[in-house]
Structure formats: structure tokens, C-alpha cells
């Protein structure tokens, strides 16, 4: 684990929350991205070296829709930057953590990602994310 890469926040209305976070941080979102496979629309903010990801559901069956139904808006996950996501997943699996996918998935912002089950991490959803390297051979759940 290299550092906290971003904090993910679940919001009901991405436009409203973008306005709010722009006022809070004094800078607009630097990027928007639709992650259709996850049923999520995302906006990214930077403050210094740190990144905040706002996540809104675009479908009723997305994980963000579930989260907001159960817990309301708020901190959804903490993401850690890793150098080799396959090696980290193996290390964590060997240490008894439950991974939510057996292979990384292609996530937002040009990353390979994997989530850990929050039951094994004191109720906090943890995301591993690795920048996809130029020319890297990628093995994910979606493309086999």
C-alpha cells in the first residue's frame, strides 16, 4: 500500500454535490466520468495531493444506490494506491481478507481496482487501485 489515493463519497445528486464541493474546496471538479458497468457517475476533485471522488447512482441497482438506501449519503470507501494490484490481492487474500472480486476490474480514472469486504475491515469499504501502466497486460473479471 503506497498511500491513500482517494476518498469516495456517495451522493444523491452529482450536480448539486459538485457545486457544494467546488465551494468547499475552492476549485471545480477536474474530471467527470461515467462508469456504466458500475451504474455510477463520478466527479473528481483535487485538494493538494489528495483526491475526492463523488459517486452518484445512475441505475437503481448500482452499489451506490444500495448504499444510499441503507446508510444515506456519506463516506463510501477509502482507496489505497498500490503498485501491483495482483500481488496486493494475493497478499491480502493470504491474510484472510475477503475480496469482492477474484480479479481486478477496470475502474474510473484509468485504474485497475478491487474492493475488500467491509465486514473484514471494521465496516469500511476499502478499494485497492493501481494506475494502468502503458502496455501492461491486463487480466480482469470483465474481459477474462
Residues in the site for Co ion, rule: CB under 5 A?
Answer: 8, 53, 79, 127
Give the number of other Cβ atoms within 10 Å of residue 32's Cβ.
13
- C-beta of 34: minimal distance to Co ion in Å? 14
Only one residue has cell 497486460, namely: 137
- C-beta of 31: minimal distance to Co ion in Å? 13
Measured from the CB atom, is 8 or 104 closer to Co ion? 8
E strands in the chain:
3-10, 31-35, 40-47, 50-57, 74-81, 105-107, 111-116, 126-131
Q: Beta strand pairing status for 50-57 and 40-47? A: antiparallel
- C-beta of 53: minimal distance to Co ion in Å? 5
Measured from the CB atom, is 64 or 136 closer to Co ion? 64
- C-beta of 8: minimal distance to Co ion in Å? 4
Measured from the CB atom, is 96 or 123 closer to Co ion? 123
Measured from the CB atom, is 53 or 81 closer to Co ion? 53
Give the number of other Cβ atoms within 10 Å of residue 94's Cβ.
8
Angle at 58 between CA 52 and CA 64, to 5 degrees: 55
Amino acid at each position: 500500500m503506497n498511500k491513500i489515493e482517494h476518498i469516495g463519497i456517495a451522493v444523491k445528486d452529482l450536480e448539486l454535490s459538485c457545486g457544494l464541493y467546488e465551494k468547499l474546496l475552492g476549485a471545480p471538479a477536474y474530471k467527470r466520468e461515467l462508469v456504466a458497468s458500475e451504474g455510477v457517475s463520478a466527479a473528481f476533485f483535487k485538494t493538494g495531493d489528495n483526491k475526492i471522488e463523488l459517486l452518484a447512482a445512475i441505475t437503481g441497482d448500482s452499489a451506490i444506490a444500495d448504499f444510499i438506501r441503507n446508510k444515506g449519503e456519506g463516506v463510501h470507501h477509502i482507496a489505497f494506491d498500490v503498485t501491483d494490484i495482483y500481488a496486493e490481492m494475493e497478499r491480502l487474500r493470504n491474510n484472510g481478507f475477503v475480496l469482492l472480486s477474484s480479479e481486478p476490474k477496470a475502474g474510473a480514472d484509468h485504474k485497475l481496482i478491487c474492493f475488500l469486504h467491509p465486514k473484514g475491515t471494521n465496516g469500511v469499504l476499502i478499494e485497492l487501485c493501481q494506475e494502468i501502466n502503458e502496455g501492461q497486460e491486463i487480466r480482469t473479471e470483465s474481459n477474462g
